[in-house]
Amino acid sequence: MTTPETTITVGSPEFLADPHAHYAWLRTNAPVHCGRMAYMGEQDVWLVSRYEDCRLMLADDRFLRSPGGQGPAMLAGFPDSVREPIRLMTTSNMILMDDPGHRRLRKLVAKPFTPRAIERISGRVDELSHALLDELEPLGRVELRERFALPVPATVINEMVGVPHADRDRFGRGMNALVTGMARLGQESWAREMNALTELVRELIEHKRSEPGEDILTGLIQAEEDGDRLSEDELVAMVFLLVTAGYETTYNLITNAVLTLLDHPHQLARLRAAPDDEALWRSAVEEVVRYGGPIGGTKPSTTVEEVTWHDTTIPAGATVIPVLAAANRDPAAFDDPDTFDIDRRPNAHLGFGHGVHFCLGANLARMETRVALRALVRRNPNLRLATDRSELALEPMPFWTRYEELPVHLG
């Protein structure tokens, strides 16, 4: 276990062996800690781990996503070969913008993500879930992550963006690069795939301008507020955000939800016994996000001035990340936080962030997870792991809880 003299490297093999033990150590011993990220070399990354501190930080204007509109401080540490895709992901992406630019973009793009708009596509998600299960259940043993959890949101995002069938393989390769990240692909391969995705999205934008469709990309192109519209770079960045918010988060959340319930059979049995209890299913998804959600930290912020917390001084210009996975197990904020309880109410977790940067895709991720999970559980009363629990491995992705695979027996 990490000692106070050790610098924590998020995403390292030692860290991945027991992330929550490291989070507990941080909360107790070093609530503001100068650490590292596995793929960022020797760059300092300051980690904030207590619940109340994370909430405060996410609403504190001393911490900005893009000081001066230049992106986070850590951008300077990347080589030129990856600068263009990272530029689009940082300086044109509202998730890495500060107000008033962030507020402007959010206002332009918010309509497709309201709870009412998201519930309108829940029937399509249910249809996709059952169609996949029709194919998979006769097989008995399947790898659930790739064969079920991933195709549901992938299909939804293709349809929401309006990607033609002929381009879906190209779009899929780009989505895979975007969500896999350079830590797994390497900088050159990642940059090549991301540049190809950028080119495809620009082609789609040009096509949608001349031939509008009933899709979100067309809606974003046409969105206008007080004479203001999205630039082409902003449209590309919004598609990237759709992929990460509506696809990456969701398929990992579905995977984690299945595993968490299999780890807690009494809670799973309660859901099976109440298939039509909408409030319980919604509560269960919220508890999965708190207890075992895939997102462990927000996008990095940069200090615009020196900040002192808990007798520790963070210098100006430092990269700071609120560790949401640590905050969500903080005993100062949650009763018995290491217990998974689908009846937990209230449940003010930070799994989708907090404040102005609260995840735009939260409603989509919640709905898709609830609908897909309910179809799977209802149809498979004998659902169980097809391997020893100890053999399941986390991907080496800093601040993510993503399993490499989830083999299960259906039935």
pLDDT tens for 306-316 read: 999 999 999 99
The structure tokens listed for 265 are: 């059979």
Q: Please tell me the distance from the alpha carbon of residue 193 to that of residue 356, in angstroms, as a whole number.
A: 31
Q: Residue ranges of the chain with pLDDT lower than 50?
A: 1-5
Do residues 236 and 126 make contact, with C-beta atoms less than 8 angstroms apart?
no
Instruction: Give the start-end residues of each E strand in 8-121.
Output: 9-10, 32-37, 45-48, 63-64
Please tell me the predicted confidence (pLDDT) of residue 225.
Answer: 64
Do residues 151 and 172 make contact, with C-beta atoms less than 8 angstroms apart?
no
35-79 pLDDT per residue, tens: 998 876 678 999 999 999 999 999 999 998 877 665 555 555 556
- In the chain, what are the domains? 9-409 (1.10.630.10)
Do residues 363 and 113 make contact, with C-beta atoms less than 8 angstroms apart?
yes
In our burial notation (b when 16+ CB lie closer than 10 A, e otherwise), range 315-346 reads eeebbbbbbbbbbbbbeebbeebeebbbebee
| Other beta carbons within 10 Å of 63 | 25
344-374 pLDDT per residue, tens: 999 999 999 988 778 878 888 999 999 999 9
For the entire predicted model, the pTM comes to 0.88
Task: Give the DSSP per-residue string, 240-299.
Answer: HHHHIIIIIHHHHHHHHHHHHHHH-HHHHHHHHT-TT-HHHHHHHHHHHHHHH-SB-S-S
Please tell me the predicted confidence (pLDDT) of residue 182.
Answer: 65
Please tell me the predicted confidence (pLDDT) of residue 3.
Answer: 43
Please tell me the predicted confidence (pLDDT) of residue 262.
Answer: 98
Q: Please tell me the distance from the alpha carbon of residue 105 to that of residue 234, in angstroms, as a whole number.
A: 8
Please tell me the predicted confidence (pLDDT) of residue 2.
Answer: 43
Please tell me the predicted confidence (pLDDT) of residue 226.
Answer: 61
